[in-house]
Structure 1
Amino acid sequence: MTDISREALRADIADILEIAPADLADDANLMDAGLDSMRAMNLAAQWEERGLPLDFADLGEAQTLAEIHALAQARQGKAPA
Structure 2
Amino acid sequence: MEPLTPSRLRAELAEALGEPLDDLTDDDDLFAYGLDSMTFMSLVERWRRQGVEASYVTLAERPTIASWSTMLAG
What residue number does 1:70 align with?
A: 70
How many residues are aligned here? 73
What residue number does 2:40 align with?
A: 40
TM-score, normalising length from structure 1? 0.80
What residue number does 2:50 align with?
A: 50
TM-score, normalising length from structure 2? 0.87
Alignment RMSD (CA, Å): 1.4
Amino acid at match of 1:16: A
Could you list the runs of 5+ residues in structure 1 that have no partner in the other structure?
77-81
Higher relative contact order (CA 8 A, sep 6+): 2
In structure 1, the residue corresponding to 2:46 is in which secondary structure? helix
Runs of 4+ in 1 over 6 A off after TM superposition: none
The percentage of counterpart residues that share the same residue type is 32
Q: Please, which moves more after superposition, 57-66 or 15-24?
A: 57-66
